[in-house]
Structure 1
Amino acid sequence: MDTLQDLSFLLLELKLVSGAMGIIYLGAHASLRRPPSAAVSKDKKRQKQEDETFAQGLELSDAILFPVMAACVLVGLYYLIQWLQDPAIINKILRSYMTTMSMASLLTFYAHGIQVLTSFVFPRFWRGRDGKLRRVDQAKRAVAVCDDVGNELENPNNGATNPLPGALGFLVPMARMHNRVWNLRHLFTRHWLLEVFAHGMGKETAHVNFAHMLALLMAVVTAIVYFATSWPFLSNMLGYGMCYGSFLILSPTDFLTGSLVLWGLFFYDIFMVFYTPYMMTVATTLDVPIKLTYEAASRKSILGLGDIVIPGMVIGWALRLDLWIHYYRKIKYEATDLKILEKVSGSEETITRSETKYREVKTPYVDVKGNWGERFWIRRAFGLVAPRDLPPQVAASRFPKTYFYASMAGYLVGMLVTLAMLLVFKHGQPALLYLVPGVLGSMLLTSLVRGEFKELWMYTEDGSLDTIDVVVDLDGNGKAVKTIGKLEDGVVDTTKDDKKKEDEKDKEKSKEKKAEAAKDKKGHKVFFVSLEAPPEGGEEEDQ
């Protein structure tokens, strides 16, 4: 009997660990974006829209604010529970609040999940039974045979009309059904541009597709059913949604900031669990989606969302570090004959001299997200062997993820140690006591072993590394050792005179005032919502 109970407990903890690591894995990949070591992609309009969605990085002050705010909320909830003497009241209030607040995150979570499934059913590339690569052309409603890097070949087999890959193609063997499947593919892969404008508040734009509309319905149903039933499964789904959304919003600016935030919450967690009744009372009393709960027989296992989100945001940062290093190693330096403006020592005069310097050239960014289905369908030998050559859109996802896997391994070790301590002491454990050293220690150790501590320390998401047309001096190994300045119209001005920039800003403000004055004469829009649909075939660039 004891053996069966121990087995059920192990299965219970396996669900908990796999669920936590799974949502971190998905959230980290969803948080990927253009690193500062890569140039803006050719599709500048879309790249600009993606860059505008960047998360605001945490600052050093957050290392103090996070533990203080968490303590205030926790202590407040504890004394509110003691005062009300009825947890049902506060559970109902908090359940309403948390359900409403988690709707946006849950919608995003569902929408991205639907998009992943769509990529498996309607991929852009797949490999046929003959081993040849196919590429979908939605505008022509045809499937072309390509070489291994996605270039269309002149082949009699080009122009097939079945848009489903591999074995799925047998679901619609008749040609007359192909048109319906193309329409369905168009519905699931097409993007619309949603614009919302309010006078005095500005205009917001967003790309939406059918997945977002379906996800909105699913999120509303989940929230309503959970509020009516308090089903633990739906509580966990709301919790996963909040974790997923947090990974897209929260991000440590650099390794120092992430470390200080984690260490601050490390001591907070230890104090609240071991030396106060606050944490255990609130965690076991409140039945709201602020934790993951798994039950088996008479056993229950609980993991707070903070034990996922806090280490998880650093793990997501580690994955973006991997992407930055990947593009950082691709930076090239081109020799260029330049005119350099310099100040004369002890004088306000400037001199111009010609010299050969090196200009930093970054590789254009290729979106690494949304290729789950393509990476599966282009494999050889029944999906078991990955080909060496891939189309650029798919190959972009295949970059070294050293620090990400190291931090995930550290998180797994921390979770296993937490569970072991739970079994040994038969008492709730502060998970961050083991997770923080596991995550940070694994990243630091990896950097020291690989000799990349400098890269780990210098990578930041504050925008200072996102430079263009930088002129540098190189050492004998071809590495940049000194930044000379920024190249503008073939000239490098080292005097750092910002007068020109200020004049440009004044001109822009003057133009804005004139435009506003013109609007006042003609009248202005107060509020509008628009949904713009691109032409068929245009969605292929947006997948």
Structure 2
Amino acid sequence: MDFQQLATAASQHFADARPLLPMYLHLIISALFPIYTGAHASLSRPSSAAKPAKTEQKTADAEDDDEEEEEVVQKMEGLSPQDALVFPVTAGIVLAGLYFLIKRYGAHLINLILGWYFSGVGVFSVAKLVNDGSNFALSFLLPTYFVHKGKLFKTDASKRKAVSQDGAAEASSSPGPLWITMLPNSFVDQIWSLRAAVRKRYTTKGYIHDVVDFKANLTLINALSALFGIGSVAYANLVAKPWWLTNLQGFAVCYSALQIMSPTTFATGSLILAGLFCYDIWAVFFTPLMVTVAKNLDQPIKLVFPRPDQPSAIPGEPPIRSFSMLGLGDIVLPGLMIGLALRFDLYMFYLRKQTKRKSPETTTSPSGTVEPTEDVEKAPYVSVTGNWGDRFWTSRLPASARPQKLNASFPKPYFIASMVGYVIGMLTTLGVMSVFQHAQPALLYLVPGVLASLWGTAVARGELKHMWEFSEAITGEQLEEDEKQDADKDAEKTGQDGQSLFGRLWSEIFDASKDEASKKDASPSSAGKVKDAKQPPDADAQDSKSGVPDTDTLISFSIKRYSARRASFNSKSKAETPPVAERAQTPSDSSIDDAVLVETDEA
């Protein structure tokens, strides 16, 4: 075939695919959205940065206590090389099992069962996506910092004013940049009230004997997001499943997965993608499993995109509507490596900011010579997440005139390179699918695109050694002594040390011996003995005051106004004598450092 014939065939294929270009654009943007947002939401303090600088203690009676964001530890489930070997095998077994069940019992029954099975994950994921999206939008509508007449202002909820930050006594009654519209005072008061309502926190406790025991500090946005998540899942399972609702749940699952899972190292991530690369080829090209299951399951395991309607072959019949599909694995699995690349960019940014100084201590080398040692000083970490609205409304000011937390940015060469590789792989997938008119295993093109871009960037920048040695596993240097003890206690309690992800899940579900031992320890007789031996006669009254339900309580639920002073006192008392009912909970009102904790067998 000469060049002219090749050009003619290419133009013909382009003309045939031209009506599908909007759908292809929709597909690419939909795949990039959860990867970009989930990767940025997973950012936390890297091991190359020091703890954030301590801020002054807030007064307990300040009305704007709730406006300050709590520092939390970003806990992620680390994957191991053993998981890389188990993933393809497990995926193949599950896929074959679903194929058999669909052929044997029909897709309707399987969709009904799986719909309720995935409901818990759907509620959590949708609620988290809506919650974060709402807070993102509110940061633009009700920012904390904004610029007025070239001056930086900060809102003060206690005084219902925005105070100038240049040292002058100038203040504005507006809660943000809405002063442009010259709103009436009554409307401004409503905005202040709305701002206080959405940022106010409430301590919520719920208890059902032997079933539920939780405590959380929630805002109005948290509660509404949870209701939205429950409503979306209930509508999908009881009423109908439109394609956009399936996509919403799919977006949410991808967004959440990128924040709770990490490949831990680039080597492990590459091994996982290589194994699933082979699995995807086998499942699509050599068996009918993947295509059959994807077409029949109407669950949040895929994204669907409406194709242009095609006229029916029967006169008078409505046009035929069809959909293109993209599995969530084609988003999450490369997305895990892309998210790791973004966190590696942040790690390298703070690694370059480290300085070394001579230490007064010395060490003795194997040859017997005394050598001076060097101390590494790490730059304090400045959070790079959140404050999007504040950054937007203060972008006109020079960096020196803005607070430090609004200048938190860093170069992202590895993240950008991996995103470009993903887009190239996706375009290749769509092009091959359009030419051959056959379903394509997207990982066949996405895996080489992402891995080649990442490792190629490391080689080009001369940072291959740093990339190979980078790990997000927990180390003693990254944890303070108390945090390390808490991690050891959690690992000892759950019996997860030295196990891979699948091993820990297997132990959690099927290891009955530990459950029996824990039941014996928590038996009424033993509990009574402990109570009689160590607690005073008025222990029941103390339990009720501390918020811990006594043994006679069956159901309890309470909502209280969050108090910074009470939270601080409770966190100290818990550190001394932790209540039994709350010992397994991580108190969200305690002050803990912002850092990435990846739980792996290397911990």
With the length of structure 2 as denominator, give the TM-score of the two structures.
0.71
In the TM superposition, 1:116-265 aligns within 5 A as 116-128=136-148, 130-145=149-164, 152-156=165-169, 158-165=170-177, 168-171=178-181, 173-194=183-204, 206-227=216-237, 228-265=239-276
Match status 1:363 vs 2:379: yes
Alpha-carbon distance between aligned partners in 1 of 2:257 and 2:386, rounded to the nearest angstrom: 19
Alpha-carbon distance between aligned partners in 2 of 1:307 and 1:195, rounded to the nearest angstrom: 39
Contact 2:200 2:219 in 1 (8 A): yes
Match status 1:70 vs 2:82: no
Cα 1:518/1:132, change in 2 over 3 Å:
same
Aligned to 1:163, what secondary structure does the other structure show? coil
Alpha-carbon distance between aligned partners in 1 of 2:473 and 2:559, rounded to the nearest angstrom: 33
Return the offset for 1:81.
0.9
Return the offset for 1:467.
3.9
Aligned to 2:48, what secondary structure does the other structure show? coil
Return the offset for 1:268.
0.4
AA aligned opposite 1:218:
F
Cα 1:354/1:283, change in 2 over 3 Å:
same
Question: Quick one: which of 378, 381, 389 aligns to 2:394?
Answer: 378
Aligned to 1:359, what secondary structure does the other structure show? strand
Cα 1:376/1:5, change in 2 over 3 Å:
farther
Aligned to 2:81, what secondary structure does the other structure show? coil
Match status 1:87 vs 2:87: no
Cα 1:48/1:428, change in 2 over 3 Å:
same
Cα 1:48/1:189, change in 2 over 3 Å:
closer
Partner of 1:50: 72
In the TM superposition, 1:440-519 aligns within 5 A as 440-464=451-475, 466-467=477-478, 518-519=534-535
Alpha-carbon distance between aligned partners in 2 of 1:232 and 1:371, rounded to the nearest angstrom: 33
Alpha-carbon distance between aligned partners in 2 of 1:94 and 1:337, rounded to the nearest angstrom: 64
Alpha-carbon distance between aligned partners in 1 of 2:352 and 2:434, rounded to the nearest angstrom: 46
Question: C-alpha root-mean-square deviation of aligned residues, in Å?
Answer: 3.6
Alpha-carbon distance between aligned partners in 1 of 2:185 and 2:113, rounded to the nearest angstrom: 56
Cα 1:215/1:108, change in 2 over 3 Å:
same
Cα 1:259/1:386, change in 2 over 3 Å:
farther
Contact 2:34 2:254 in 1 (8 A): yes
Contact 1:118 1:188 in 2 (8 A): no
Question: Quick one: which of 119, 125, 132 aligns to 1:99?
Answer: 119
Question: Quick one: which of 407, 410, 413 aligns to 2:418?
Answer: 407
Cα 1:462/1:392, change in 2 over 3 Å:
same
Alpha-carbon distance between aligned partners in 2 of 1:47 and 1:329, rounded to the nearest angstrom: 28
Return the offset for 1:199.
9.5
Alpha-carbon distance between aligned partners in 2 of 1:11 and 1:515, rounded to the nearest angstrom: 68
Contact 1:40 1:47 in 2 (8 A): no
Question: Quick one: which of 330, 333, 349 aligns to 1:326?
Answer: 349
Alpha-carbon distance between aligned partners in 2 of 1:251 and 1:515, rounded to the nearest angstrom: 42
Partner of 1:149: none
Question: Quick one: which of 427, 430, 433 aligns to 1:416?
Answer: 427
Question: Quick one: which of 553, 562, 581 aligns to 1:533?
Answer: 562
Cα 1:334/1:202, change in 2 over 3 Å:
farther
Partner of 2:43: 32
Aligned to 2:158, what secondary structure does the other structure show? coil
Residues 376-434 of structure 1, C-alpha deviations (whole Å, 9 max, x = no match): 21123xxxx985764211112x1111111111111100100000110111100000011
Aligned to 1:61, what secondary structure does the other structure show? helix
Return the offset for 1:275.
0.5
More strand per residue: 1 or 2?
1
Instruction: Give the count of matched residue pairs.
Output: 473
Return the offset for 1:68.
1.2
Contact 1:258 1:314 in 2 (8 A): yes
Cα 1:515/1:467, change in 2 over 3 Å:
farther
Cα 1:56/1:2, change in 2 over 3 Å:
closer
Contact 1:291 1:302 in 2 (8 A): yes
Alpha-carbon distance between aligned partners in 2 of 1:134 and 1:433, rounded to the nearest angstrom: 52
Cα 1:343/1:454, change in 2 over 3 Å:
closer
Alpha-carbon distance between aligned partners in 2 of 1:54 and 1:131, rounded to the nearest angstrom: 41
> Unaligned stretches of 5+ in structure 1?
146-151, 346-350, 470-512
Aligned to 1:334, what secondary structure does the other structure show? strand
Alpha-carbon distance between aligned partners in 2 of 1:289 and 1:202, rounded to the nearest angstrom: 27
Cα 1:519/1:257, change in 2 over 3 Å:
farther
Cα 1:2/1:422, change in 2 over 3 Å:
closer
Partner of 2:498: none
Cα 1:140/1:357, change in 2 over 3 Å:
farther
Aligned to 1:393, what secondary structure does the other structure show? helix
**Which 10-residue stretch deviates more, 415-424 or 323-332?**
323-332
Partner of 2:330: 307
Cα 1:535/1:142, change in 2 over 3 Å:
farther
AA aligned opposite 2:562:
A
Alpha-carbon distance between aligned partners in 2 of 1:13 and 1:80, rounded to the nearest angstrom: 32
Return the offset for 1:37.
1.1
Cα 1:23/1:354, change in 2 over 3 Å:
same
Contact 1:360 1:468 in 2 (8 A): no
AA aligned opposite 1:153:
D
Q: Quick one: percent identity of the two aligned structures?
A: 36
Match status 1:283 vs 2:294: yes
Cα 1:468/1:109, change in 2 over 3 Å:
closer
Cα 1:458/1:90, change in 2 over 3 Å:
same
Contact 2:17 2:434 in 1 (8 A): no
Contact 1:30 1:248 in 2 (8 A): yes
Contact 2:246 2:300 in 1 (8 A): yes
Return the offset for 1:137.
2.3
Match status 1:433 vs 2:444: yes
AA aligned opposite 1:400:
P
Aligned to 2:72, what secondary structure does the other structure show? helix
Aligned to 1:436, what secondary structure does the other structure show? helix
Partner of 1:477: none
Contact 1:39 1:364 in 2 (8 A): yes
Contact 1:37 1:466 in 2 (8 A): no
Contact 2:155 2:162 in 1 (8 A): yes
Aligned to 2:173, what secondary structure does the other structure show? coil
Partner of 1:108: 128
Return the offset for 1:307.
0.4
**Which 10-residue stretch deviates more, 86-95 or 417-426?**
86-95
Alpha-carbon distance between aligned partners in 2 of 1:531 and 1:244, rounded to the nearest angstrom: 31
Contact 1:36 1:465 in 2 (8 A): no
Contact 1:259 1:440 in 2 (8 A): yes
Partner of 2:403: 391
Return the offset for 1:175.
2.9
Residues 133-181 of structure 1, C-alpha deviations (whole Å, 9 max, x = no match): 2222223322122xxxxxx22325x22110121xx33456223433321
Alpha-carbon distance between aligned partners in 1 of 2:21 and 2:536, rounded to the nearest angstrom: 69
AA aligned opposite 1:174:
P
